[in-house]
Structure 1
Amino acid sequence: MAQPTLGIMTLYLSEHSGVEERSYFRKVIAQAEKLGLRAVVFTPVDVDAKNKRIHAYVYDTETGRWSRSWTPFPHLIYDRCRYQDSERFRKFRRFRATYTRLVYLNRPISNKWGMHQFLATSARIRPHLPHTRVYSEHADLTAFMRGRRLVYLKPINGTGGRGILRIERQSGGHYLVQGRDRNRRIVAPKLVSAKQLPLQLAAWNVKDRYLIQQGIPSKLPDGRVHDFRLLIQKNGSGEWEVTGCAGRVGPKMSITSNLHGGGQAVPMTELLRRRFASEEKIEEIRKAVYSLGYAVATEVEGRFGRLCELGIDIAIDPDGHPWLLELNPKPAREVFARIGEKETYEKAISRPLEYALWLYKQHYGTSSSRRRSGAGKSAASSTR
């Protein structure tokens, strides 16, 4: 069997100027080489459709240098194109719509609202979803805040904590508004009256592309917010497996805990001990979080098609109940390196590659090997 090629699809940072995640891709390519897999990087604009080839970025692990080379379409594609409001992202969407018969490790999923609506149909997952609705006008927020002290406004698209507002009801009919702008910069808390609140939101340019979401109490004794990032990935047998879970603590004055926004990574158990004294309770929470991760991955893949990994952001309320905050189908994994879990971090890099090799055998192996491995099973198994 010929050496398989994995094309890592990404986006340019600007028009033909550098690609995203280059540091991560170097590690992926080096690990792929050890596993007997050739990995290259390309963007949707690097495609020569007529000759069925791509102008790929090739990394030499011995010299540490990048070069460009024309190469045939890869056997497999690992999609790392994250949402951005740009022509580059629109070209990516056209690529996915055009090349539907290529073998992708992962499929696109819905935006936050579509995902919430879908997961709300699951009796298993519904109890872990914060109440959420679309924001179209200020009356939506007014109605949503009745009986609630804390809510968040989030962009329907995008990740990384950009453009999020936190609104907390104060005494005397006032509201404390704070957030992060679209460049992740912290917006200082501001106390406004009920009459001033619509003007504050108008200045923020909050329109119908935003969601209103129930706030989950997540402040530590020092006032900093925190959550947990669970990484669940396919392994070399095509099965879901939790790779790890780590805590994230936001910087002072921040409403988010994202590492790119200055958050601090903390081992899961250590962070839980800051809030829960019982080791039995902590283990109960850990099991509940892992179980939720498996349920979410299974449901999402069943609806949207093949996936290779999901980053799941989870908040734990004072009672120890896990709440699903956000899904990221193209997650980072640096949180594990930052907490010193080297083995988990290396596994997080290796698993998509091990899954890619398994997938390659399903699609390009001999007919006998495909029968032995179960290729051609029911549609339910084909998403693997």
Structure 2
Amino acid sequence: MPQPVLGILTLYLNNAKQLEEQSVYRRMIIEGHRMGLDVFVFTPADVHTSKEQIHALVYDPNTGKWSRKWRAFPNMIYDRCRIQRSERFQQLLRFRSRYNHLTFLNRPLRNKWTVHQTFSQKPRFRQHLPETLLYNSSADLLKMLKQHQVIYLKPANGTGGRGILRIERLKGTRSVFDIQGRRLDRRIITPRKVSQSRLEGIVRQWCIGGRFLVQQGIPLRLSSGRFHDYRMLVQKNGNGVWELTGMAGRVGAARSVTSNLHGGGHAVRAEILLKQWLGSEEKTEKVMKTAEKLGLEAAAFLEDSFGALCELALDLAIDREGSIYVLEVNPKPAREVFARSGDSSTYRKALVRPLEYALWMYKNKTTPSSAKTTEE
């Protein structure tokens, strides 16, 4: 029986052909080698359509070196491509369309607004969603500010905490607001107080060139003044079944309104941070069990709605009462939150599970469902 082949599909970050997660792919290739799975890395730019071959990046665990080799198309494709504003992303869309018949472990999700609307259809998930509107005009902004003291403005297609604005109505006032946030390049903007009319102008300017959501703010400020949330990773295991891989806490950098690690935040084991936040081990255990059930049901529901998935990260806000809110979901999750929290066994599990699932698919000749929606 020939050795199964998995191709990791990714995008170059720039014209120098740099890869953001090359060290992760190296680990996955080494783990795949031990399991009897041949793994290589490629981008749409490496595909030679007339030859129907790929000029792939391969790593040799014996020599510890990367090289290029011409390879046939793999048995399965593990899509790690994130949204870019570049021609490279347009190449990706063309690749997905042309080779839609191939076996993908995972298909792309839609934007945050579509995912929010999809979740909203089910009462099971509705209770775990912060109130959210698609920003069309100042009326949407003012409506949310009347109902909530704190709101967030976030891009519908953003990642990594970019382009997020936090707006808080100052206590004792009706029309004075504190704003702070991060620009699209992740730079922190200086917090400042503004009037309502000035705020409306700032938000209009902020939203030029993209679609933004206005979302209810959940109280997440720690006693240190920093904001925190929780990253939960659910993945399909070696039997094709959804399972919780792990959960970690993220604490944002000073002056940051988000907790993203790329923005200077740090990771903490979830049970430690949650116990500090909720005040008891009993509450912590109960919330973590509820979060796990929610994550597994959410992954299955989104797969039914949009097409094949092999993993999903949920960013969760948990308030002082232990109520859980899904801030957003990420079908192309990073894993470093577990390494940074000191949980090396969960980090390894997060790397290995997609490989185990790929082997299960190959042995069972199972083809996941194709994408059910057009891409953003």
Partner-residue secondary structure (3-state), 1:13:
coil
- Write the distance in 1 (CA, Å) between the matches of 2:367 and 2:34: 29
**Cα shift readout 1:351-372 (whole Å, capped 9, x = no counterpart):** 0000000111122xxxxxxxxx
Q: Which residue in the other structure is 2:268 paired with?
A: 266
**Structure 1 residues 208 and 40, CA, compared in 2 at 3 Å: closer, same or farther?**
closer
- Write the distance in 2 (CA, Å) between the matches of 1:188 and 1:274: 29
Equivalent residues of 1:134, 1:208 under 8 A apart: no
**Paired amino acid for 2:82:** R
Structure 2 residue 60 is matched with structure 1 residue 60? yes
Q: 1:341 deviation in Å?
A: 1.1
Q: How does 1:341-380 map to 2 (within 5 A)?
A: 341-363=343-365
Match for 1:238 among 240, 246, 268?
240
Equivalent residues of 1:44, 1:95 under 8 A apart: yes
Q: Which residue in the other structure is 1:74 paired with?
A: 74
**Gap regions ≥5 residues in structure 2:** 371-376
**Structure 1 residues 189 and 306, CA, compared in 2 at 3 Å: closer, same or farther?**
same
**Structure 1 residues 207 and 197, CA, compared in 2 at 3 Å: closer, same or farther?**
farther
- Write the distance in 1 (CA, Å) between the matches of 2:304 and 2:205: 40
Q: Which residue in the other structure is 1:174 paired with?
A: 176
Deviation above 6 Å: which 4+ runs of structure 1?
A: none
**How many residues of Structure 1 are paired with residues of Structure 2 in the alignment?**
368
Q: Which residue in the other structure is 2:290 paired with?
A: 288
**Structure 1 residues 376 and 340, CA, compared in 2 at 3 Å: closer, same or farther?**
closer
Q: How does 1:125-274 map to 2 (within 5 A)?
A: 125-170=125-170, 171-172=172-173, 173-206=175-208, 209-274=211-276
Equivalent residues of 1:135, 1:208 under 8 A apart: no
Percent identity of equivalent pairs = 52
**Paired amino acid for 1:283:** E
Q: 1:208 deviation in Å?
A: 5.4
Partner-residue secondary structure (3-state), 2:123:
coil
Q: 1:152 deviation in Å?
A: 0.4
**Gap regions ≥5 residues in structure 1:** 364-374
- Write the distance in 1 (CA, Å) between the matches of 2:322 and 2:231: 16
**Structure 1 residues 210 and 376, CA, compared in 2 at 3 Å: closer, same or farther?**
closer
- Write the distance in 2 (CA, Å) between the matches of 1:276 and 1:256: 20
Q: 1:197 deviation in Å?
A: 0.6
Partner-residue secondary structure (3-state), 2:277:
coil
- Write the distance in 2 (CA, Å) between the matches of 1:286 and 1:339: 17
Q: 1:68 deviation in Å?
A: 0.7
- Write the distance in 1 (CA, Å) between the matches of 2:341 and 2:144: 38
- Write the distance in 2 (CA, Å) between the matches of 1:264 and 1:111: 26
Q: Which residue in the other structure is 1:42 paired with?
A: 42
- Write the distance in 2 (CA, Å) between the matches of 1:185 and 1:34: 42
Q: 1:376 deviation in Å?
A: 9.1
**Paired amino acid for 2:306:** F
Judge which range, 235-244 or 140-149, deviates more: 140-149
**Paired amino acid for 2:160:** G
Equivalent residues of 1:10, 1:20 under 8 A apart: no
Judge which range, 338-347 or 161-170, deviates more: 338-347
Q: TM-score, normalised by structure 2?
A: 0.95
Q: Which residue in the other structure is 1:325 paired with?
A: 327
**Paired amino acid for 1:165:** L
Output the aligned Cα RMSD.
Answer: 1.6
Judge which range, 165-174 or 229-238, deviates more: 165-174
Structure 2 residue 57 is matched with structure 1 residue 83? no
Equivalent residues of 1:9, 1:43 under 8 A apart: yes
Q: Which residue in the other structure is 1:19 paired with?
A: 19
- Write the distance in 2 (CA, Å) between the matches of 1:182 and 1:300: 27
Structure 2 residue 83 is matched with structure 1 residue 98? no
Q: 1:110 deviation in Å?
A: 0.8
Equivalent residues of 1:125, 1:295 under 8 A apart: no
- Write the distance in 2 (CA, Å) between the matches of 1:166 and 1:308: 33
Equivalent residues of 1:314, 1:322 under 8 A apart: yes
Q: Which residue in the other structure is 1:366 paired with?
A: none
Q: 1:135 deviation in Å?
A: 0.6
Q: 1:206 deviation in Å?
A: 4.4
**Cα shift readout 1:191-240 (whole Å, capped 9, x = no counterpart):** 11112112222443446510111111111111110000000000000000
Q: TM-score, normalised by structure 1?
A: 0.93
Equivalent residues of 2:120, 2:126 under 8 A apart: yes
**Paired amino acid for 1:346:** R
Equivalent residues of 1:6, 1:78 under 8 A apart: yes
